[in-house]
């Protein structure tokens, strides 16, 4: 069988595989993206929030459905904390199918090749390269490459095949797309409480054309045997909020995992994991697009040199990734520690007390000044330091941050 050679094979043509394909192909490298489906961007499991900084990377503005200025956050007993300012954009809501297609198209325009209906069935890394057996449209092909990148999502084949570990946390998300919800224009809503989103929160996000995305997320440990769908139903029937949901009609539903917490080995000999495959999603919001873009950008130059020089051993890849990716891991661990302290490990009574403190005008001012969906740790630290009611948690937080 004829062998086809590429510098880099990327398993998975989602947003992160597409972005990696673009950056590497723009450097003149020969890149092949493998996508198991026959269409890019389907099926998707995503609320579609893309922060301005992530959007600025790919500039796929034509995929934006809505712009969002803030979040109306509801405490378990109904205390409302509005975060944001009318007219100041906080995040975009995109059509994920079109967003993924735009990113993958950029890779193809940069020169990367795309095989759809294609999955690897075997891969062996050796001194000379990686031999990848690919099933494409039911036919077998042999592809060799210098570097194999797994950008193949939460259940990554690459990660399992090369035994690279598991993400620290796996959240489960459930979401519907509905018509008939009447929300405040340009604002999303978040709902909390152990009966609707134990340890986490539920969301309602405007998604254009009079539709909204209603979702909940949590972990198996927090759900303790309950199904995530039952949490969603409890949100719709919650005594405080059920009136908002009486006129909705569901047009679609999705369920999917959110892997957060970098896996033990993100690299191996001639192998590397990116995006959800590596467990990059944020523990505070579940957002995985921005961190995945940053992950590849942060190592681009030395990685391209190593590909050109064909020095892609595990120690070299370790050297390239260590500083930037260790910093990302540290930030992720710190965000998780603060999230656990302020939200995930709190009873509804404790959360209600936090919400009363959050809703104080001076605290809201601080949140609006420092709050950044991209960087939750500085806000968490500022709250602990400056809000008297949170000071008693500060010592606990310091210990956790030291240990994280
Ligand atoms: C309910 C929910 C809501 C979310 N909301 C947001 C949000 O609002 N904002 C945000 O930033 N993130 C959100 N996320 C997370 C976000 O969807 C992911 O972090 C993001 O899609 C990761 O991109 P990726 O390219 O790494 O993986 P994926 O998007 O999963 O792409 C992987 C690609 O690889 C393909 N593939 C998989 N296995 C193989 C194989 N063996 N061979 C070939 N191809 C393969 C898949 O078909 C897919 O195209 C949400 C997740 C969930 C579950």
* Rounded Cα gap, residues 14 and 151, in angstroms: 7
Q: Based on the number of CB atoms within 10 Å of its own CB, is 327 exposed (0-12), middle (13-18) or buried (19 or more)?
A: exposed
Give me 144's structure tokens: 């060799």
Give me 284's structure tokens: 């505070």
Can you tell me which atom of ligand 1 is nearest the CA of 277? Answer: 26
- Which run of H or E residues covers position 32? strand 31-34
- From 286, 292, 328, give the residue whose CB has the most ligand 1 atoms within 8 Å, as the site to mutate: 286
Q: For residue 197, name the pLDDT band (cuts at 50, 70, 90).
A: very high
Which long-range contacts (C-beta less than 8 Å, at least 24 apart) are formed by 367-373? 367/81, 367/83, 368/83, 368/84, 368/85, 371/83, 373/51, 373/90, 373/91, 373/285, 373/287
pLDDT value at 401 more than 60: no
What pLDDT, on a 0 to 100 scale, did the predictor assign at position 398?
59
> Is the minimum distance from the CB of 173 to ligand 1 under 6 angstroms?
yes
Give me 76's structure tokens: 């378990």
Select from 41, 38, 22 the least CA-distant residue to 111. Answer: 22
Nearest residue by C-alpha to atom 15 in ligand 1: 288
pLDDT value at 95 more than 60: yes
- Which stretch of 52-61, 233-242, 264-273, 354-363 has the lowest confidence by average pLDDT? 354-363
What pLDDT, on a 0 to 100 scale, did the predictor assign at position 357?
80
Find the mean pLDDT for residues 39-43.
90
Encode pLDDT of 140-172 as tens digits.
999 999 999 999 999 999 999 999 999 999 999
Identify the residue with better confidence: 152 or 359. Answer: 152
What pLDDT, on a 0 to 100 scale, did the predictor assign at position 118?
97
pLDDT value at 177 more than 90: yes
Nearest residue by C-alpha to atom 29 in ligand 1: 14
Q: For residue 339, name the pLDDT band (cuts at 50, 70, 90).
A: confident
Spell out the domains of the chain, with CATH numbers in brackets.
3-46+96-167+263-322 (3.50.50.60), 66-94+168-259 (3.30.9.10), 334-403 (no CATH)
Can you tell me which atom of ligand 1 is nearest the CA of 48? Answer: 8
* Rounded Cα gap, residues 130 and 7, in angstroms: 10
SS3 of residue 199 by DSSP: coil
Encode pLDDT of 18-36 as tens digits.
999 999 999 999 999 999 9
Nearest residue by C-alpha to atom 42 in ligand 1: 119
> Is the minimum distance from the CB of 36 to ligand 1 under 6 angstroms?
yes
Q: Based on the number of CB atoms within 10 Å of its own CB, is 10 exposed (0-12), middle (13-18) or buried (19 or more)?
A: buried
Which long-range contacts (C-beta less than 8 Å, at least 24 apart) are formed by 25-30? 25/107, 25/110, 25/111, 25/112, 26/110, 26/111, 27/300, 27/304, 28/111, 29/304, 29/307, 29/308, 30/5, 30/6, 30/111
Any residues with CB less than 8 A from the CB of 224 and at least 6 apart, and which?
198
> Is the minimum distance from the CB of 12 to ligand 1 under 6 angstroms?
yes
- From 122, 281, 288, give the residue whose CB has the most ligand 1 atoms within 8 Å, as the site to mutate: 288
Residues in a beta bridge with 90: none
> Is the minimum distance from the CB of 47 to ligand 1 under 6 angstroms?
yes
Can you tell me which atom of ligand 1 is nearest the CA of 100? Answer: 29
């Amino acid at each position: 069988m004829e062998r086809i050679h590429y510098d880099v094979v990327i398993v998975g043509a989602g947003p992160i595989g597409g972005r990696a394909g673009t950056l590497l192909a723009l450097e003149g490298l020969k890149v092949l993206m493998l996508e198991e489906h026959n269409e890019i961007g389907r099926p998707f499991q995503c609320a579609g929030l893309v922060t301005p900084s992530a959007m600025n990377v790919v500039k796929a503005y034509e995929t934006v459905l809505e712009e969002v200025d803030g979040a109306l956050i509801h405490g378990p007993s109904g205390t409302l904390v509005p975060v944001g300012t009318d007219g100041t954009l906080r995040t975009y809501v995109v059509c994920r199918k079109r967003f993924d297609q735009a990113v993958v198209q950029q890779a193809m325009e940069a020169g990367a090749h795309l095989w759809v209906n294609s999955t690897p069935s075997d891969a062996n890394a050796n001194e000379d390269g990686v031999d990848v057996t690919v099933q494409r449209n039911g036919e077998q092909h042999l592809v060799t490459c210098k570097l194999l990148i797994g950008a193949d999502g939460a259940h990554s084949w690459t990660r399992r095949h090369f035994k690279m570990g598991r993400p620290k946390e796996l959240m489960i998300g459930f979401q519907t797309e509905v018509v008939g919800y009447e929300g405040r224009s340009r604002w999303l809503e978040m709902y909390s409480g152990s009966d609707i989103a134990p340890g986490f929160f539920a969301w309602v996000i405007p998604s254009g054309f009079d539709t909204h995305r209603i979702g909940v997320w949590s972990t198996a440990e927090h759900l303790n045997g309950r199904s995530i769908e039952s949490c969603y139903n409890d949100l719709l029937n919650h005594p405080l909020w059920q009136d908002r949901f009486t006129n909705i009609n569901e047009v679609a539903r999705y369920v999917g995992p959110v892997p957060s917490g970098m896996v033990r080995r993100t690299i191996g000999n001639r192998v590397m994991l990116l995006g959800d495959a590596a467990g990059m999603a944020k523990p505070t919001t579940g957002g995985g697009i921005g961190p995945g873009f940053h992950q590849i950008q942060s190592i681009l130059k030395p990685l391209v040199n190593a590909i050109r020089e064909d020095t892609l051993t595990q120690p070299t890849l370790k050297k390239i990734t260590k500083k930037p990716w260790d910093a990302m891991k540290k930030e992720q661990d710190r965000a998780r520690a603060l999230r656990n302290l302020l939200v995930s490990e709190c009873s509804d009574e404790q959360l209600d007390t936090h919400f009363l403190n959050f809703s104080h005008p001076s605290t809201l001012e601080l949140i609006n000044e420092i709050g950044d969906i991209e960087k939750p740790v500085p806000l968490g630290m500022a709250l602990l330091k400056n809000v008297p009611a949170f000071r008693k948690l500060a010592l606990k937080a310091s210990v956790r941050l030291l240990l994280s």
